[in-house]
Amino acid sequence: MANPFYTGEHEAFREVMRRFVAREIEPYAHQWDEEGEFPRALYAEAAEIGLLGLGFPEEYGGIAADQFMKIVASQELARAGAGGVSASLMSHSIGSPPIARAARPEVRARVLPEVLAGKKISALAITEPSGGSDVANLRTKGRRDGDHYVVSGEKTFITSGMRADYLTVAVRTGGEGPGGVSLLLIEGNTPGLSRTKLKKMGWWASDTATLHFDECRVPVENLIGEEGQGFKQIMYNFNSERMGMAASCTAYARVCLDEAIAYAKERKTFGKPIAQHQVIRHKIVDMAQKVAASQAMLEMLAWRLGQGESPVAEICMMKNQATQTMAHCASEAVQIFGGAGFMRGVKVERIYREVKVNAIGGGTEEIMKDLASRQMGL
């Protein structure tokens, strides 16, 4: 039965995305993981099919897109089972929305067309060595000095941190607490900025870095929004990021399900395919049940967002639901694969390594529960 949430336009874009992933990403996913990066040319190729412009203003090269178009993009990218590629390729989806919403017109006109065309890379820099989601207490300083801010401090676990040309950075321009936080656009060639590459459990093809700001002078016109209003911009950004992660995690879980089914039909033990063993069939049904439940919750939340609602508690719970589904399906898929699932080069092994980054990034499972409970008045 046709899904009522998706129109012909959504399905046409799904086909474009599926061909792109099958042709440009999937054949190289293992190679790029082993190399620890993917070609920068992939950004321009993604821009050509409209992927990078989704949801951004058309005047800067963007494409109008609802929540379901974004779900299609996230879930089709996930088919390659290459979370590192998706994370860095789409780092502009968290780095550039604050620019599109709140930067000065001349800054938007200078930055966004290059990013959406795949010519420049955008990243978001919030997390610090001293704290992750505790944005209200960040320590990186942005001291006003004439027509510049002088930025000193560190950010870490920054996706696309090594290659980013534009960094959307949270800094403290005022006193303690959320009211002292502002957002600055810091260009990658700014004197005083240095970067250290990080090695990770998963997302090997994604470049992840610690950024060091040593008295970086940033023009005042690069302030995004009003001074002291950065915290609100960051919180707004988090909802979109968490929905995107939920869509991807649900899709990674489905990839594990599909791979497990295919393998169970081929692999034989005791004279018959392992799919004919009841214990394997039950594992697969449990996986399918969790994927279906997560997808249904995701699509209902997307519909509610499209109606103008802001269901923050449910978005937090959705992220946990999706990451828990991914964790369950990745673990069961590797178990069904047996020894083959422990070998590098198969999708289920890559996805298994990438479970934890999703359960941590964008707000840990514990923080999601706390935020949801507060929204529920507890």
What would the pLDDT profile of 175-188 be if each residue is shown by its tens digit?
Answer: 999 999 999 999 99
The whole-number pLDDT of residue 158 equals: 97
pLDDT for residue 132 is more than 70: no
Q: In this structure, which topology does domain 232-376 adopt according to CATH?
A: Butyryl-CoA Dehydrogenase, subunit A; domain 3 (1.20.140)
Where are the domains positioned within the chain?
A: 8-117, 122-228, 232-376
Please give the structure tokens belonging to residue 145. Answer: 């000095």
CATH no. for 8-117: 1.10.540.10
Asked if 211 and 125 touch (Cβ cutoff 8 Å), the reply is yes
Instruction: Tell me the pLDDT band of 147, cut-offs 50, 70 and 90.
Output: very high
The amino acid at 134 = D
Separation CA 158–CA 125 (nearest Å) = 6
DSSP string, 59-117: GGT-B---HHHHHHHHHHHGGG--HHHHHHHTTHHHHSHHHHHHS-HHHHHHHHHHHHT
The whole-number pLDDT of residue 235 equals: 87
Instruction: Tell me the pLDDT band of 117, cut-offs 50, 70 and 90.
Output: very high
- Reported as a single tens digit per residue, the pLDDT across 190-209 is 999 999 999 999 999 999 99
Lowest mean pLDDT among 31-35, 51-55, 141-145, 233-237: 233-237
- Reported as a single tens digit per residue, the pLDDT across 302-344 is 999 999 999 999 999 999 999 999 999 999 999 999 999 999 9
Residue 253 has, within 13 A of its CA and on its CB side, a CA count of: 28
Separation CA 141–CA 217 (nearest Å) = 12
The whole-number pLDDT of residue 136 equals: 79
The full length of the chain comes to 378
- Reported as a single tens digit per residue, the pLDDT across 347-375 is 999 999 999 999 999 999 999 999 999 99
Asked if 184 and 224 touch (Cβ cutoff 8 Å), the reply is yes
The whole-number pLDDT of residue 1 equals: 65
Separation CA 264–CA 266 (nearest Å) = 6
Sign of the torsion formed by the C-alpha atoms of 70, 75, 79 and 81: positive
The neighbour count for residue 186, using CB atoms within 10 Å, is 25
pLDDT for residue 223 is more than 70: yes
Q: Which spans in 230-364 are helix H?
A: 230-266, 278-306, 312-337, 347-353, 355-360
Please give the structure tokens belonging to residue 172. Answer: 């403290």
**pTM exceeding 0.85:** yes
Phi and psi at residue 119, to the nearest 5°: -85, -30
The whole-number pLDDT of residue 130 equals: 82
pLDDT for residue 133 is more than 80: no
Same fold, 8-117 and 232-376: no
Separation CA 213–CA 195 (nearest Å) = 9
- Reported as a single tens digit per residue, the pLDDT across 77-101 is 999 999 999 999 999 999 999 999 9
Q: What 8-state DSSP symbol labels residue 167?
A: E
Beta bridge partners of 171: 182
- Reported as a single tens digit per residue, the pLDDT across 37-78 is 999 999 999 999 999 999 999 999 999 999 999 999 999 999
pLDDT for residue 276 is more than 90: yes
CATH no. for 122-228: 2.40.110.10
By the 10 Å C-beta count (0-12 exposed, 13-18 middle, 19+ buried), 47 is classed as middle
